[in-house]
Amino acid sequence: LFTDGMEMEPPNRLVLSPEPGALELTEGNVESALHQLYYDPDMDHKNVAQKWLTQAQTSTQAWQFCWPLLGPDKLPEIQFFGASTLHTKISRHWADLPIDQHQTLRMQLLSHISHFSKGPKMVLTRLCVALASLALHTIPQAWPRAVSDMVLMELNNHSHCLALLELLTVLPEELQSCRLPQGRRAQLREALAGEWTVVCPLLRQLLQKQEAPSQVKERCLRCLSSWVGLDIPLHGESEGLLQDCFAALSDPELFNTAVETIVCAISQPDCQRYTDALVNLMPLVLGLHDQLKAAARDGDMETSHGICRIAVALGETHSRTLLEQVQHWQGYLSLVNMILFCTSIPGHYPVSETTSSLTLTFWYTLQDDILSFEEDRRTVYLQVYRPVYLQLVDILLEKSHFPSEQDYISWSSDDKELFRIYRVDISDTLMYVYEILGAELLSNLYDRLGQLLMATEGPAAWQDIEALLFGFQSIAETIDVNYSDVIPGLIGLIPRISISNIQLADTVMYTIGSLAEWLADHPLMLGCVVPMVLQGLVKAELSVSSVSTLKRICRECRHDLAPYAPDIMTVSQDVLAKEIHKSSQCMWLMQGLGFLLSALPVEEILGRLTLLITPHIQTLDTLAHQEPSPTTKLSIIHILGMLSSLFTTLDIRGQDQGSEGTIPAQTRTNPIVVILQQVFTLIQNVLSKWLSDPEVVKAVCGVFDRSVKTLLRDFAPMVPQLSEMLGQIYTTCPQASALDLTCQMVRIFTGEKDHLGPIKHLIELVTSTTQSIFQQGPSEHPDIVESFMQLHAEALKREPGLYRSEHLDVKSLFYCGILALKFPETPTAKSACLFFAELVCHCVDIPPIGQVLHRDGKLLIQTILEAVGGQSPHCLTEHFSQVLFCLNRHCHTLLSQWLKEGLHVPGFPTAQISMEQKDTFNQQLLREQSNKRHVVEIVNEFSLLCRGLQGPTGHSADY
């Protein structure tokens, strides 16, 4: 309601009561409340005043007390509140005002706007917005010529002119921001667009008036920006007005506003209908080229930035339209070259220039449009624009250059991050350039790199080499370069690079990583790059690039890495022992080693795996005997995380059909299982001291969770032990991670009779413990409730027979689900819906489920209707629909009865919906037993009605 910068003399404090109606709504009390809001040092008193003033604005009396607040003797902030109150009443409570008072209100507003034309500006703007809102309520029926009437205001007075321009500016803005049904909004847009013939000549007249103050011209420009959002036609006098805006660019005071207006106008997609106007704009934009060059030469970033925005707005928004104007191809080519100049503006982004980044999306748009034409025209355009894109490559590589090390050190961390993002954008742009230039681009990069590395006159600047490699990497990351004939040469050149700089070394690593798939098809070339990657692996400053590259090579080339495996394992074990890398990179490295080990002969894996993890297991054993501390905890979680990462990718199941000599799958024990069995007691020792710490428990569960997901049924030997341990964990200190791991076990092993016993016992144990949590109040444990519901949904799906057991209290479980449906956390309510959808499907074949549904199903329906009616986020409607769909298929008769009883309660689930609408919903839902999507649509429509979000046409209101 209020703006900063208001100054009031502090009056005597009046402490208001927060109770509505406790203080009479009078002019004096409103003023006292405003004084209290601004000057009372007690925040509680300020909040009471804010609440009271908000209530005052919505009261019927506000129509009366707002006018005295606008008196000339009042302070500006009081006048502002009066004007804001008027806008609130008109925009939100228009129906409260009798029709015979509409004309009087309009005249009062016009009179006050005239009075406040000299300021204060904040009061004038609010009054203009209020009149704009009134106009939108009365156009076109009661006030068909609203804009024309406004324009008839006296313009000889400078302040009146500014007031009129303010009024005309806020009118389209109010249309965009107010709440209206879609049909009414379209009607008003059409009506206002029809008034443009009155507004446009006025704006032209004022912009062309030599003696008009800059303030008036600036308001004209802003007014045009506001009106172009109505899709006004860009021809005739409108085209002339846009040309006037270009003329305003020569005025330094108007430059920025003129740029905003021009960009806003020509960025409207609807402008594409006015091809001639767009063609006529090209000379105006090209006419700015000399001013652009001068600004670039003088380091005037503001001017170059503005002109570039105009050129890009025209070239990018209307690229295809202008390309189709074949007779004007030279003009558009000139515009493209102007944008190319903007891309090449000297300086390092973002320290000494910020313009070049504006152009990068244009180059994608242009190539996309060129390639979208039919073959004949595409061939012509490629011939014209290939030279431009070749120049663009040179420019982009130059712009991607790092500055000197001395300069780079002086950059702020924010500037370095912006430069990194800028290079990512350049990388994307080079990928688009490849679509135009194809193999020629890679050959170009390769030839230039070869010349630099083979030069005899001295070493090249590292930035030049880095930029070319960066170009290669940008393309190889996303384009299939497997058939490029220059990649072998590139691989051969990489070892010749003298790495004396971190940035260059990083790019070398990333370039090798981007070629991992190519190396998988050409394993003979691995010998050229693996030693370089291992050299990078031992350097902390290359941690991210070297580890990620090794991981990619291990993933893509694992079947050809056997000759390099000893070196990779040795170096990796060494850097892990020396703690060279941060924890996250250690996880990546372990994942890479998992890929590597997976491809080795089965009989070798266990030995290498043992060598790799033994030092970490020994460290974990030491930590398990130490007293708990933050440092110990981090170390334990780190080691457990490394094991999890390793077990995520160490998958030998593909070798089960292996070559001669491979141990048959059914007679061998998976190496991961062997390791887990060896360390199981150690992990129990860790848990004995950390069982109440959720992060450590989560890390322990993570080790087994990753193992189960990777091994699947190969994990079977561990099921009894793990089931017992999970039961101990959960009964001692319930954790969502333990439930999630239990769910994984259910998903994989419930179908196997040998394992059903321990898993069944585990489910009963965690269910009993969780039901105790529900009895004590589960609201503080939404993660446990979510995982609990997911566990039972999975169990019902995989082994519904479990629910015949007398040890599983289905009734109690049902009530837990009802509570879960009401949780404010979306994932928790979603998992509860999943649980009920599975539960309902077994109401016939599982007697305990049928009994509880027959007895308490009405409560389920009531809860779902309340949720759909507005008590739960609307995004959950589809999930509640799933439960209703299952009920309709499996309990149709009972559902019909429950719906009838629930929906006939007055005001349920909300007072927003009529009995007729509830009957319609009931009938539509009960008819649909086969099409789930139709049920979602029916429930969604009902939910919107309950929330009051439906317009008179039956479609959601347009906000």
pLDDT confidence tier of residue 50, bands split at 50, 70 and 90: confident
Q: Which long-range contacts (CB under 8 A, 24 or more apart) does 409-413 make?
A: 411/351
Assess whether pLDDT exceeds 60 at residue 527: yes
Average pLDDT over residues 745-754: 84
Distance CA 565, CA 600 (A): 9
Tens digit of pLDDT for each residue in 672-681? Answer: 999 999 999 9
* Cα(595)–Cα(555) distance, integer angstroms: 5
What is the predicted pLDDT for the residue at 351?
93
**What does the pLDDT read at residue 663?**
43
Residue 13 has pLDDT above 90, yes or no: no
- Residue 157 binned pLDDT confidence (cut-offs 50, 70, 90): low
Per-residue confidence (pLDDT) for residue 373, from 0 to 100: 94
Residues in the chain: 959
Question: How high does pLDDT run on average in the chain?
Answer: 89
Contacts 24+ apart (CB under 8 A), 578-584: 580/538, 580/539, 580/540, 580/543, 581/540, 581/543, 581/547, 582/543, 583/638, 583/641
Euclidean distance between CA atoms 399 and 343, whole angstroms? 8
Most confident option among 449-458, 641-650, 863-872: 641-650
In this prediction, what percent of the chain has a pLDDT beyond 70? 94
Average pLDDT over residues 385-401: 96
pLDDT mean over 753-782: 88
Q: Which of 82-91, 297-306, 753-762 has the lowest mean pLDDT?
A: 753-762
Q: What pLDDT, on the 0 to 100 scale, is given for residue 959?
A: 24
- List, for residues 818-853, the tens digit of each pLDDT value: 999 998 889 999 999 999 999 999 888 889 999 999
Strand residue runs (E) in 72-117: none
Q: What is the mean pLDDT of residues 926-933?
A: 85
pLDDT score at 90 = 92
Determine the Cα–Cα distance for residues 419 and 423; give it in Å rounded to an integer: 6
In this structure, which amino acid lies at residue 901? E
Give the model's pLDDT for residue 153. Answer: 66
Is the overall model pTM greater than 0.85, yes or no? no
> Shortest CA distance to 884 belongs to which of 826, 827, 943, 828?
943
Tell me what the mean pLDDT of segment 902-908 comes to.
86
Give the pLDDT confidence score for residue 533 in this predicted structure: 96
Model confidence over 569-626: pLDDT tens digits?
999 999 999 999 999 999 999 999 999 999 999 888 999 999 999 999 999 999 999 9
What amino acid occupies position 872?
Answer: S
CA distances for 696 relative to 626, 628, 686, 723, angstroms:
15, 11, 9, 18
What is the CA angle 76-82-86, rounded to 5?
140
Least confident of 180-194, 195-209, 725-739, 939-953: 939-953
Q: Give pLDDT, residue 20.
A: 42
- Report whether pLDDT(258) > 80: yes
pLDDT of residue 225 exceeding 90: yes
pLDDT tens figures, 159-171: 888 899 999 999 9
pLDDT mean over 391-395: 97
Q: Helices 413-437 & 439-454, crossing angle to 10 degrees?
A: 120
C-alpha span between 36 and 12 (Å, rounded): 9
Q: For residue 776, is pLDDT > 90?
A: no
Asked if residues 13 and 40 have their Cβ atoms less than 8 Å apart, the reply is yes
At residue 793, does pLDDT exceed 50?
yes
**What integer is the mean pLDDT of 388-412?**
95
Tell me the C-alpha distance between 527 and 541, whole Å. Answer: 24
User: Between 43-58 and 76-92, two packed helices, what is the crossing angle to 10 degrees?
Assistant: 50
| Confidence label for 428 from pLDDT (cuts 50, 70 and 90) | very high
Is the dihedral angle over the CA atoms 486, 489, 491, 494 positive or is it negative? negative
CA distances from 865 to 734, 852, 870, 898 (A): 32, 19, 9, 11
pLDDT computed for residue 958 by the predictor: 30
The pLDDT-based confidence of 22 (bands split at 50, 70, 90) is: low
Number of Cβ atoms within 10 Å of the Cβ of 394: 12
Euclidean distance between CA atoms 801 and 689, whole angstroms: 37
Of 88-92, 108-112, 330-334, 453-457, the range with the lowest mean pLDDT is: 453-457
Q: Please state the φ and ψ torsions of residue 284, each to the nearest 5 degrees.
A: -65, -40
Please count the CA atoms within 13 angstroms of the CA of 438 that sit on its side-chain side.
3
Helices (H), 196-317: 196-208, 214-227, 237-248, 255-266, 275-286, 289-298, 301-317
Lowest average pLDDT, out of 30-34, 422-426, 470-474, goes to 30-34
